[in-house]
Chain A
């Protein structure tokens, strides 16, 4: 096996020496974007090296929301750790609960009742819609359009109302727990959910009219921050970011967990410009595709929810005896499809109730690491466009 040469990263300064080009010599400026900045979605800090409006380098710095989640995991029994998981990706608490619950169930060998699995899938998909609504709305904000944000939040409130009726919480649910869900569905829940789905699905078209196909919006996002499929895989980008680059990879399809193999749904992937329903300026893997893939995913989530509602079986909602689980001396690593990408949980037991190591693989953590790679050479106004389309949640990035 021959030694592989170290790949050198492109020098962002190459070809910008103004004295050689005979242009007016300008001074570079280091600008600190964040940790308190409206467009960095939390406490991300990006150090920009700029030449006027041109960004030569964008180095992300994280860690401002580090809360020792992994260390805490080594000190608590799994059922106590569940509330910590939904503080990580606080926009998709259900999915985080689900990921950790599945990890522990596989490690300890807990059998989850079928009804619980259906409820879990339904709530995970609802939360995916809620999370994508926030992503959609805040992306509009990043682009300077205020109104889509409030439209998205209007619908998200209804999903939160549904969650509240099921578990009493609106943001940090801890509803999906080890062995099932904490409570069965409340009365009339499925009726109200059905009503909501009827109301919500036409609204997606409204969103697209208002924002996604707006000429200014397309001009701002098309061909901005292009990530090729190879790059996306090399940098281990996952979720909508990976799919927008044209890679058909979704854990719900490729390695179905829970009962995702029972549903019929499509995986939307990024399309080149000129395809059906795609503006001509668009390139596979650009910010517009990352945005629209989320919108299309909302539709697919609606399909899954409708099927889950139809197939919903009767039965218990939680497996018996899940509180004082003894974790075997073994380890597990599972990944599920979070709204932002693949959320991985590594859990290692040592024969006691408390795991000896918990490791979280946050999709935002991996996705934002590509920023410097694609962010150099764009304009200052493109940085919010790229960061917003990657759709990070700092709670999970910093854990």
Chain B
């Protein structure tokens, strides 16, 4: 045994800065205000919050739409064009328009609606909503992951914070992380070390700005949204490499190099898999890609032909590697590299990596849903909704949003794919770096080349909606339906027939045993 000669002496007392005191005071005040409320009504608060968010977002959308119609109504000669400095109507004109539209309280409302005609104002509101959504997603994906992991491992997961199944556990963890000391190793490259988490976090957030949640539910309609999102996901690796390098820790460097190696190699099959739906539809715009899949589940691109089916699976595997999720979590494999690239990080910076990772998980799941799994459309075809003749009232829209198409469907599908990611993570062991590269270069890459070539020929020579096309389409659709229904059946069967431990060994509350 070799002893490092470190002189032993008591540590000096830690001095807290004013910022730490401020944050701690804020957290305490928050806790004192909300804890009694949360304790009293845990369930209703959670469900209420979710409903409020949905209704709020929807109402926001309705208001924008209303403003546009109101403006048009105010002056039919003026097209309601909005721009950075292009406010076209005076307040009086807005009021006149509102009065003409018969809206009560037009005198007050006009002051509220007036700023909304500016694009900048609208963007700020939209970006605020989106950022709020993005910050809530990782919190709840982490909570969801911990609950699912708990159930898989026959325990309960977080149960305390917030009362109902620990639903606010992640927020409590977040507050804890913010209050923790922000450590930077003495020999680290300080500026790069501090920069790295943002480089990992910001691109994942930016990707959301081009990700459509519905036909009109997109912050910026970009013609090349797919390329933009892929580029943003590609930048994330830079943050990770920077973090590994700047930490001045050999384990971190290992993690960073593994991440670089893995990302660079898996981007190729991932990109090739994404080319296939693009080829099938002929556009790079995610909104258009999504809208071609409105004809029920048989029209989803994944069931279109065997090549898209394989491409969907290949994309999913590559996206796991891209998000460094198990079994590809080598960059942070805790049993080999301590914690990989974020070994030296603590507190808020550490949590930024996790925000980035979970946001990226959502983005790749979202891409998968848009490109392969019917985007924001339900398995029912939109033509059915039109045949019902629902009209355009608010209630009709709500029914359409719940049954046929809407952001709820999109988020729901994303959550399901996230669940699959979590499920895989808590079931499989991790693979080794040479196996990661083998799987990519010798299996996925040749496979995707064949699939790409095959799909090209298929699109060329097999007539769309012809006999061969339809047979493949129907068979694949049935496979998909059977898979999903089978999964639901097995889960339900397992839930109803779950057994506790025998006799005196049994603990009643132990789930999944």
**Which residues on A are within 8 Å of B, measured CB to CB?**
29, 31-32, 37-39, 45, 53, 61-64, 66, 140-147, 150-151, 154, 158, 161, 192, 195-196, 198-199, 210-211, 214, 216-217, 219-220, 379-384
Contact = CB atoms under 8 A, between A and B. Distances in A.
A199 B336 contact: no
B501 A199 contact: yes
B2 A143 contact: no
Contacts of A62: 1
B427 interface: yes
A195 B513 contact: no
Contacts of B326: 144
Interface of B: 1-2, 149, 152-155, 250-251, 254, 326-327, 329-330, 333-336, 338, 426-435, 501-505, 513
Contact of A29 (B250, B432, B433): B250
B429 A145 contact: yes
Nearest to B327: A216
B254, B334, B429, B435: residue with the most chain A Cβ atoms closer than 10 Å: B429
Contacts of A45: 1
Contacts, number: 99
Nearest to B431: A216
A147 B422 CA distance: 12
A216 B335 contact: no
A147 B336 contact: no
21 contacts: A29-B250, A38-B338, A53-B254, A63-B1, A141-B335, A144-B430, A145-B427, A147-B153, A147-B426, A150-B153, A151-B153, A192-B504, A195-B502, A195-B504, A216-B430, A219-B432, A220-B432, A379-B432, A379-B434, A380-B254, A381-B336
B153, B154, B254, B336 interface centre (most CB from chain A within 10 Å):
B336
Task: Kindly name the residue among B1, B2, B251, B338 whose own CB sees the greatest number of chain A CB atoms within 10 A.
Answer: B1
Contacts of B431: 216, 219-220
Given A31-B250, A39-B336, A141-B335, A146 B502 contact: no
Contact of B333 (A144, A150, A211, A214): A144
Nearest to A398: B1
Contacts of A29: 250
Nearest to B434: A379
Contacts of A379: 432-434
B154 A154 contact: yes
Nearest to A32: B250
A64 B153 contact: no
A216 B438 CA distance: 13
Given A195-B502, A381-B433, A142 B154 contact: no
A175 to B, nearest CB: 21
Nearest to B333: A144
**Closest A-B pairs by Cβ, 5 of them:** A144-B430, A63-B1, A145-B429, A143-B429, A150-B153
Nearest to A219: B435
A199 B427 contact: no
A45 B330 CA distance: 22
Contacts of A161: 505
B209 to A, nearest CB: 34
Nearest to B339: A38
A154 B428 contact: no
A142 B335 contact: yes
A361 B426 CA distance: 39
A142 B327 CA distance: 13
Contacts of A31: 250-251
A150 to B, nearest CB: 4
A362 to B, nearest CB: 15
A146 B1 contact: no
Given A146-B149, A214-B428, A61 B2 contact: yes
A392 to B, nearest CB: 15
A147 B430 CA distance: 12
A38 B335 contact: yes
B206 to A, nearest CB: 31
B343 to A, nearest CB: 11
Contacts of A145: 427-430
Contacts of A32: 250
Contact of A144 (B149, B152, B335): B335
B335 A384 contact: yes
B505 A37 contact: no
Contacts of A196: 505
Contacts of A384: 335-336
A198 B502 contact: yes
Nearest to B326: A144
Nearest to B153: A150
Contacts of B155: 150
A148 to B, nearest CB: 9
B215 to A, nearest CB: 40
B324 to A, nearest CB: 12
- Of the listed residues B153, B251, B329, B432, the one surrounded by the most CB atoms of chain A closer than 10 A to its CB is B432
A198 B327 CA distance: 34
Given A150-B154, A381-B333, A382-B432, 14 more contacts: A32-B250, A39-B335, A39-B336, A45-B1, A141-B335, A143-B429, A145-B429, A146-B426, A150-B153, A192-B503, A192-B505, A216-B431, A220-B432, A384-B336
B15 to A, nearest CB: 27
B334 A38 contact: yes
Contacts of B153: 146-147, 150-151
Nearest to A53: B433
A281 B185 CA distance: 44
A65 to B, nearest CB: 10
A248 B209 CA distance: 65
Nearest to A138: B335
B2 A154 contact: no
B429 A214 contact: yes
Contact of B505 (A38, A140, A158): A158
A66 B1 contact: yes
A77 to B, nearest CB: 30
Nearest to B504: A192
B338 A37 contact: yes
Nearest to B149: A146
B429 A381 contact: no
Contacts of A198: 502
B354 to A, nearest CB: 17
Contacts of A142: 335
A219 B326 CA distance: 16
B428 A61 contact: no
A64 B1 contact: yes
A395 to B, nearest CB: 15
Nearest to B337: A380
Contacts of B433: 53, 379-381
Contacts of B427: 145, 147, 210
A150 B153 CA distance: 6
B277 to A, nearest CB: 29
Contacts of B336: 39, 380-381, 383-384
Given A381-B336, A384-B336, A144 B1 contact: no
B504 A143 contact: no
